[in-house]
Structure 1
Amino acid sequence: MKLRPFTLFTSLLGYAFAYSYSVATYAQNHSQTTAAPSASSKPVERKFSTDTLYALLTAEIAGSRQQYDLALANYTQQARVTRDPQVAARATMIARYLGATQTGLEMSLLWAERAPKDKEALANASLGLMQANRLQEAFEMSRRLYVAGGEPLFQNIAANAEGLTRPARERLLQSFKTLLPRYNRDEQLLVGIGLLLQQQHSFDEAMTYTEKALTLYPRSIPAAILEANLLHELKRDREAIAKMAELLTFYPDNISLRNQYAHILTHYDLALAQQQFAIIAKQQPKNADAVLSLGIIAMERKDYKAANRAFEKLLDEEQHSSTAHYYLGRLAEAQQNWQEAIFNYLQVERGNDFLSATISLLDIFIKQGDFISAQQHMNRVRIRFPDQAESLYLLHSQALIKHNYLVEGEKILNDALANLANNSKLLYARAMLYIQRNQRADAERDLRQILQFEPDNAVALNSLGYMLTDDSQRYREAEELLTKAHTLKPDDPVIIDSLGWLHYRQGNYVQAIRELRQAYASYQEPAVAAHLGEVLWITGAQEEARSIWQEGIKQAPEDTSIPATMKRLKAE
Structure 2
Amino acid sequence: MRTILWPWKHLSLVFGLLLFLISPAGAYPDLSPRAEAYYQFLRGEYEAFNGRFDEATLCFERVVRLDPKAVLPMVELARLYASEGRFDEALRYAEKASKKRPRDVSILILLGRIYASQGRYQRATETLSRALEIDPGQTEALMLISSIYAQNRDYKGAIKALKDFLKVKRDSFMGHYYLARIYRQMGSYEEAIKEYRRTIELNPHFEGVWLELAGLYEKLGQPDKALATYKECLDKNPQSQEARERLVELLIRQGKREEALAAIKRLSSKLNDQRALRLRGALILLELNRTDEAIAELKELVQRAPEDNRIHFYLALAYETKGELKKALSEYALVSRDSNFFPEAINRRALCLVRLGHNQEAISLLKEAIKTFPDRIQFRRTLASIYEQDGHLDLAEETLREALKLRPEDTELLLELAYVLEKAGKREAALSAAQKILQKEPDNPAALNFVGYTWAEMGINLDQAEKMIQKALKARPNDGYIIDSLGWVYYKKGDYKKALDQLKKAISLVPDDPIINEHMADVYLKLGEYNKALRFYQKASSLFKKDKDRRRIKKKIKKTRVLLEEAQDFLP
Give the TM-score band, short-chain normalised: 0.5 to 0.7
Match of 1:232 in 2: 218
Match of 1:174 in 2: 153
Equivalent of residue 364 in structure 1, options 352, 369, 389: 352
TM-fit CA distance, 1:189: 2.4
SS for the counterpart of 2:272 is coil
Opposite residue 461 of structure 1, the aligned amino acid is: S
TM-fit CA distance, 1:286: 4.8
TM-fit CA distance, 1:366: 1.2
Whether 2:432 is the aligned partner of 1:461: answer: yes
Equivalent of residue 183 in structure 1, options 152, 158, 162: 162
Match of 1:37 in 2: none
Q: Deviations over 1:169-215 (max 9, x none)?
A: 99748345541244357422243246647xxxx7xx53552245326
Q: How many equivalent residue pairs?
A: 474
Kept after mapping to 2: 8 A contact 1:155/1:191 = no
Whether 2:294 is the aligned partner of 1:310: answer: no
Q: Residue 330 and residue 68 in structure 1: after superposition, are their counterparts in 2 closer, same or farther (change >3 A)?
A: same
Q: Distance in 1 between matches of 2:234 and 2:88?
A: 42
Q: Distance in 2 between matches of 1:332 and 1:192?
A: 47
Q: Distance in 1 between matches of 2:141 and 2:498?
A: 60
**1:400-415 equivalence runs, <5 A:** 401=388, 405-407=389-391, 411=395
TM-fit CA distance, 1:323: 1.8
Q: Distance in 1 between matches of 2:404 and 2:253?
A: 45
Q: Deviations over 1:225-256 (max 9, x none)?
A: 33333433455433433444356555556665
Q: Distance in 1 between matches of 2:517 and 2:313?
A: 38
Q: Distance in 1 between matches of 2:513 and 2:63?
A: 70
Opposite residue 393 of structure 1, the aligned amino acid is: R
**1:417-566 equivalence runs, <5 A:** 432-436=419-423, 439-441=424-426, 447=429, 461-463=432-434, 492=444, 513-522=466-475, 524=477, 525-535=479-489, 565-566=519-520
Whether 2:227 is the aligned partner of 1:241: answer: yes
Equivalent of residue 397 in structure 1, options 384, 392, 396: 384
Opposite residue 383 of structure 2, the aligned amino acid is: H
Match of 1:354 in 2: 342
SS for the counterpart of 1:349 is coil
Match of 1:569 in 2: 523
Kept after mapping to 2: 8 A contact 1:59/1:70 = no
Q: Distance in 1 between matches of 2:354 and 2:328?
A: 14
**1:40-439 equivalence runs, <5 A:** 56=41, 58-60=43-45, 62=47, 68=52, 71-72=55-56, 74=58, 86-87=72-73, 89-90=75-76, 102=84, 114-115=97-98, 149-152=137-140, 172=151, 174-176=153-155, 178-184=157-163, 186-193=175-182, 196=185, 206=189, 209-214=192-197, 217-218=200-201, 220=204, 222-246=208-232, 248-249=234-235, 252=238, 257-268=243-254, 269-274=256-261, 276-277=263-264, 283-286=270-273, 289-290=276-277, 292-297=279-284, 300=287, 302-315=293-306, 318=307, 321-334=308-321, 336-346=323-333, 347-349=335-337, 352-388=340-376, 391-399=378-386, 401=388, 405-407=389-391, 411=395, 432-436=419-423, 439=424
- Scaled by the length of structure 1, the TM-score of the pair is 0.60
TM-fit CA distance, 1:326: 1.0
TM-fit CA distance, 1:362: 1.1
Q: Distance in 2 between matches of 1:57 and 1:461?
A: 73
Q: Residue 375 and residue 124 in structure 1: after superposition, are their counterparts in 2 closer, same or farther (change >3 A)?
A: farther
Q: Distance in 1 between matches of 2:176 and 2:13?
A: 44
Q: Residue 123 and residue 521 in structure 1: after superposition, are their counterparts in 2 closer, same or farther (change >3 A)?
A: farther
SS for the counterpart of 1:569 is helix
Q: Distance in 1 between matches of 2:354 and 2:466?
A: 43
Q: Distance in 1 between matches of 2:127 and 2:340?
A: 37
Opposite residue 225 of structure 1, the aligned amino acid is: L
Q: Distance in 2 between matches of 1:222 and 1:421?
A: 46
SS for the counterpart of 2:362 is helix
- Scaled by the length of structure 2, the TM-score of the pair is 0.60
Kept after mapping to 1: 8 A contact 2:381/2:403 = no
Kept after mapping to 2: 8 A contact 1:89/1:107 = no
Between the two structures, name the one with larger relative contact order (CA 8 Å, sep ≥ 6). Answer: 1
SS for the counterpart of 1:440 is coil
SS for the counterpart of 2:153 is helix
Kept after mapping to 1: 8 A contact 2:325/2:356 = no
Opposite residue 192 of structure 1, the aligned amino acid is: R
Q: Residue 498 and residue 370 in structure 1: after superposition, are their counterparts in 2 closer, same or farther (change >3 A)?
A: closer
Q: Distance in 2 between matches of 1:310 and 1:153?
A: 48
Kept after mapping to 1: 8 A contact 2:437/2:444 = no
Opposite residue 212 of structure 2, the aligned amino acid is: L
SS for the counterpart of 2:391 is helix
Structure 1 vs Structure 2 CA RMSD = 5.9
Kept after mapping to 1: 8 A contact 2:268/2:278 = yes
Q: Deviations over 1:530-570 (max 9, x none)?
A: 34455567779999877866776677677666655444333
Kept after mapping to 2: 8 A contact 1:173/1:196 = no
The gaps in structure 2 that reach 5 residues or longer are 1-6, 21-27, 167-174, 533-572
Identity level (%):
15
SS for the counterpart of 2:337 is coil
Q: Distance in 2 between matches of 1:565 and 1:83?
A: 94
Opposite residue 420 of structure 2, the aligned amino acid is: L
Q: Distance in 2 between matches of 1:519 and 1:140?
A: 57
Q: Residue 359 and residue 86 in structure 1: after superposition, are their counterparts in 2 closer, same or farther (change >3 A)?
A: same
Q: Distance in 2 between matches of 1:543 and 1:224?
A: 61
Q: Deviations over 1:295-322 (max 9, x none)?
A: 544655534333333344344xx5xx33
Q: Residue 411 and residue 225 in structure 1: after superposition, are their counterparts in 2 closer, same or farther (change >3 A)?
A: same
Q: Residue 77 and residue 492 in structure 1: after superposition, are their counterparts in 2 closer, same or farther (change >3 A)?
A: farther
Q: Distance in 1 between matches of 2:60 and 2:520?
A: 78
Q: Distance in 1 between matches of 2:382 and 2:91?
A: 51
Kept after mapping to 1: 8 A contact 2:466/2:486 = yes
Q: Distance in 2 between matches of 1:527 and 1:536?
A: 14
Q: Residue 102 and residue 342 in structure 1: after superposition, are their counterparts in 2 closer, same or farther (change >3 A)?
A: farther
Q: Which one has a bigger Cα radius of gyration?
A: 2
Q: Distance in 2 between matches of 1:415 and 1:330?
A: 26
